[in-house]
Structure 1
Amino acid sequence: MNLLDKGQYLGTTFGDFISNDLSIIGSVHQKSESQFHQHKNAYLSILLQGIYIETSKANSIRVFPSEIIYRPAFYVHKNTFESANVKCLNIEFSDEWFRKLDMKPLSNMVSFNKINNFPFLFQLITDFVHYNHIDIAEDLLLDLTTKLISKPSICKRIPWIEQLIAIIDNETECVHSLKSLSERIHQHPNYMARAFKLKTGMSIGQYQIEQKLSKATKELLLTSSNIVTIGINNGFFDEAHFIKTFRSKYGITPHQFRRLVKS
C-alpha cells in the first residue's frame, strides 16, 4: 500500500509552506479514482472546488466544497474524484507539532466538519495566499488544533499574560511574530499562543488585529490623517489590507465610517 511521506499528496500540488512542524499544501485532482493509500502524518483537507467520494474500509461519503476532513496518521482510504480540477487545501501536522503543544491528536477516527464553523480559516487562507504571513497562519492553526483535533491541557497560572497584552496594546504599529513576542516574555511560542487563546478566547493574531482596528478607529475620529497613513501607522501592510480588514470587521470601509460619523 502506498504510504505518503510529509508533504506528499496525490494529484498536482500548488503553493506550499513546509516547516518542521506543519505543512500547508494545495492539490488539484483530475477526474479519476485513486488506490487505497495512507499518509505518515495527520492532516486536514479542505475541499475548495469540485466533488469527490471518500472511501475507507468502513464506508464511503461524498465530500462537497467547504467541507473539512481530518485524517489521522496512517488512516487508510481512497478517493474518487467525480469532476475535473478538484482542488483541496491540505494542512498537515507533524508529531513535533503535537509534542510541542503537549497535545494528543485523534488517532482512531476521521472527523468531518464545515469551514464556516471555523471562521478563522477564511483569514488563514487569505493571509497565506495574499500576504504569505506565516506567523499569523501558524497562530490561527493553533486555534484549529485546539478546537478540532486535540485535547489540550495547560497550566492555569500564566502570570506573563498582562505583559504580553501590554506589548500588543502599546505597539500596534508593529506586526509581531510569535517568535518575537515569545522572546520578550521568555516563553515557548507555541505554549504562549495556546495559553493566550485559552485565557482570552482569541488568538494572538486576532487580538493584534482587534487592537490595530481599535486604535485606527480612534484616529479616524480624532485626526485628519489620511487613510493610508492611519493604516500604515497601525501595522497594516498597505491601504488595501487596512480597508479589507476594517470592512470585514465593521461592514463598511474606513472612508465610509469617517464620512458617516463626521456628517
Structure 2
Amino acid sequence: MQLSDGKFYGNTVRQTTLEHFCLTQTVYSAEVALPRHHHENPYFSLLLEGNYLEKTQGEETIIAGGHSIFRPFDHEHANIFDNKNGKCFNLELKSNISNQFSREMKDQRPIILQQSSLDLFLLYYRFLKDYPADTLDMLSFEIITALFEKEQLSRFGQTPWINTITARINDMPAEQHSVEHLAAIVNVHPVYMLRKFKEKTGLRLSEYITRIRLEKAANSIVAGKGNLTAITYDSGFYDQPHFTRQFKSYFGASPRDFGKTLKG
C-alpha cells in the first residue's frame, strides 16, 4: 500500500503544506495496528507520545517516545502501538526538494535517532505556534541537510578523536566536560582541539555541549521523564534558572510553556 503526498494512517490533527515540505501531526489509538505500507515521499517522523513496534522485512524495532525515524520513500513497514495513545509529528519532503537529495538518499536505509534533533523539536514547536511558512520551510531544509551531512560523516569518516569527544558528550551530557580533560582523553593539545572541533563540526565545543544538553532536556520533557528540577540536573545544567535561560534563548519559550504546547 502506497500513501501519497500528505497522507498518513491515523487521524490527522493538524497539517501545514509548505513550498518544499509538508508538516503533519497525527494521533493513534492505543493498540492500533497499521498495515504494511510505504510512502510516496521520504519523511522524518518524531514520536511525541506512546511507543510502537516497527516491523520491516525480517526486523522488529521498538520506537519509544522522543525517538525519531527517517524513512526513505520506498521503505515498507508496519506498526503496532502499545497500550497508550500515540502522537507523531511528520516532516515530509515533497518531490521538488527530495530530488535535490537523490544522491544522498541513494540506497539509504531508515535512520533511527534515539535522541531526536534539537531543531526537529524547534520545528514542531514553531509549527504549533503558526510561524510564517517561509520560516518553517527554511528550518525544515536545514534539518534534512544536517541529517544527511551527519550520515555522510558516519559513512565516510570523521576525524577519529572528534568522534571520541562527541560520543563522550552524547553519552554523558550531565558530566562537566572540561577542555583539559577532553584534550587529555584524546591526547591532543587543548588549543588545537578547540580549533579543529569548530572547523569540523561548525560549533564551538561549548555550543555543542549546550545543544546536546538541550536535546536531552527536550526529549525528557516530551517523554514526561520527571519534573523540571530533575530534568535540569539530569541534562547537565547546574541550576534551574540557568537551564530556563538557555532553553528560552533557543526555543523562545520556557521549558514549562514548551511542554504545555507540545502536550496540547
TM-score by length of 2: 0.54
Q: Whose relative contact order is higher, 1 or 2, with alpha carbons under 8 Å and at least 6 apart?
A: 2
Query: Quick one: which amino acid aligns to residue 50 of structure 2?
Result: G
- Cα deviation for residue 247 of structure 1 reads 3.7
Question: What whole-Å deviation, never above 9, does each CA across 1:71-107 have from its counterpart, x for those lacking one?
Answer: 1002111000113420000111123113356863254
Query: Quick one: which amino acid aligns to residue 248 of structure 1?
Result: S
Mapped partners of 1:65, 1:97: distance in 2: 28
Counterpart position of 1:129? 128
Does 1:146 find its partner at 2:148? no
Change (3 A) 1:85 1:11: same
Q: Secondary structure at the match of 2:105?
A: coil
Query: Quick one: which amino acid aligns to residue 7 of structure 2?
Result: Q
Does 1:22 find its partner at 2:31? no
Q: Secondary structure at the match of 1:34?
A: strand
Mapped partners of 1:27, 1:34: distance in 2: 13
Q: Secondary structure at the match of 2:74?
A: coil
Query: Quick one: which amino acid aligns to residue 78 of structure 1?
Result: A
Mapped partners of 2:47, 2:247: distance in 1: 28
Does 1:11 find its partner at 2:13? no
Counterpart position of 2:53? 53
Counterpart position of 1:85? 85
Change (3 A) 1:11 1:250: closer
Mapped partners of 1:142, 1:26: distance in 2: 18
Structure 1 or 2: larger helix share?
2
Query: Which sections of structure 1, spanning at least 5 residues, go unmatched?
Result: 153-197, 203-242, 254-263
Mapped partners of 2:21, 2:252: distance in 1: 33
Counterpart position of 1:187? none
Map of 1:1-263 to 2, 5 A cutoff? 2-30=1-29, 31-100=31-100, 104-116=104-116, 118-149=117-148, 201=202, 247-249=248-250
- Cα deviation for residue 130 of structure 1 reads 1.2
Q: Secondary structure at the match of 1:24?
A: strand
Mapped partners of 1:93, 1:47: distance in 2: 18
Tell whether the 8 Å contact from 2:122 to 2:251 is kept in structure 1 after alignment.
Answer: no
Query: Quick one: which amino acid aligns to residue 68 of structure 2?
Result: I
Query: Which sections of structure 2, spanning at least 5 residues, go unmatched?
Result: 154-198, 204-243, 255-264
Question: What whole-Å deviation, never above 9, does each CA across 1:160-192 have from its counterpart, x for those lacking one?
Answer: xxxxxxxxxxxxxxxxxxxxxxxxxxxxxxxxx
Identity %: 24
Mapped partners of 1:85, 1:250: distance in 2: 26
Change (3 A) 1:127 1:245: farther
What is the aligned residue count?
166
In our comparison, the structure showing a higher alpha carbon Rg is 1
Query: Quick one: which amino acid aligns to residue 23 of structure 2?
Result: I
Counterpart position of 2:230? none
